[in-house]
Chain A
Amino acid sequence: MRRAALLAVLALAGPAGATAATPRTSLPDVEDEVICVTCNVPLTIAESAEADRERAFIRRRIAAGDTKDEIKDALVAQYGERVLGTPAGDSGIDLAACLVPGLVVLGGLAGLAVALPRWRRRRTDGGSEPLAPALAPADARRLDEELARFDAETPG
């Protein structure tokens, strides 16, 4: 009798245990890759009623056995691409966030394109720019005469 009762309990518990999905990710694993759409901060640090709802949504999906990517796809379906924290590009600030890094890189490359040839020219010349301009012929002759007089007056 006791054995029959035990077998009956195990038979009932078996299917019930099997329906519970095995978690394939965790809340921290998901929430640091998405944002709170009202606060615009990573969900992991967001404190708002809406952030709590996002976390509850993620927990439900985890309990249903979704992977991290499936949960992120579900979040996008509910809140749009912005929940992933990437600029959408359709508002002014998003446009700036997309364009500015590229413009900075292009500007740097343009600067290099201008500066590099100049640096190369200086190096091939060996830095041989004269320190002072050459003397005019009349000045050079007067200098020679002064030096000769100095040599003649200086003993030994």
Chain B
Amino acid sequence: MRRLTVPLLAGGAAVALVALLAFGLLRQGGGGDVVGRPAPATPLPVLGRPGVQRSLAAFRGRVVVVNVFASWCGPCRAEAPILRSEQPRLQARGATVLGVTYNDNEDDATAFVRRHRLGFPILRDVDERFSRDLGVVGVPETFVVDRRGRVVAARRAPVDRAFIRRAVAEAL
């Protein structure tokens, strides 16, 4: 039995280490199907309003088009005009776009919002926790959340009007 002590200990440690790493890998974000799951309710700072935080819970009862973007992202710049022009149409139907910045500082995000004249609320995902909960691995990614706070559609690429209109219609 004594001869087996060290090999058993070493083997147990190796198994524990592999299990811990596997647990870590499984918990990492990375795509994944978030459709049908509750959207994260993490409170996030509101861009341009120091000290103020909001979460998706504040939008409960409305359909929300959550657009995760960054000012340094080329495709985000390309889809911004679509989101800007869709916002009034969504508001008329009781829905809204909600921008969430991704790995972006306040100055650059604010300049982006001004440059593209975005007229919807923007939250700042400072530590990437909100984005990770949605499985975001890059930007832009867009998620449609229904009135009960569940993700009903996801697009892990730049969006077009057809996607927004179809997903929102199904969510309403």
* A interface residues, Cβ below 8 angstroms from B: 37-38, 49-50, 52-54, 56-57, 60, 77-82, 88, 90-96, 99-100, 103, 107, 110-111, 114
Contacts and interface: CB of A to CB of B under 8 A. Distances in A.
29 contacts: A37-B128, A49-B72, A49-B73, A50-B70, A50-B103, A53-B71, A53-B105, A53-B108, A56-B108, A57-B105, A57-B108, A77-B126, A78-B126, A79-B126, A80-B126, A82-B127, A82-B128, A88-B127, A92-B20, A93-B25, A94-B24, A95-B20, A96-B20, A96-B24, A100-B17, A107-B9, A107-B13, A110-B9, A111-B9
Contacts of A38: 103
Contacts of B103: 37-38, 50, 79
| Chain B interface category by residue count | 20 to 34
Nearest to B106: A78
B13 A103 contact: yes
A92 B128 contact: no
A103 B72 contact: no
B107 A92 contact: no
Given A53-B72, A79-B126, A92 B28 contact: yes
B5 A52 contact: no
A78 B105 contact: yes
A60 B108 CA distance: 12
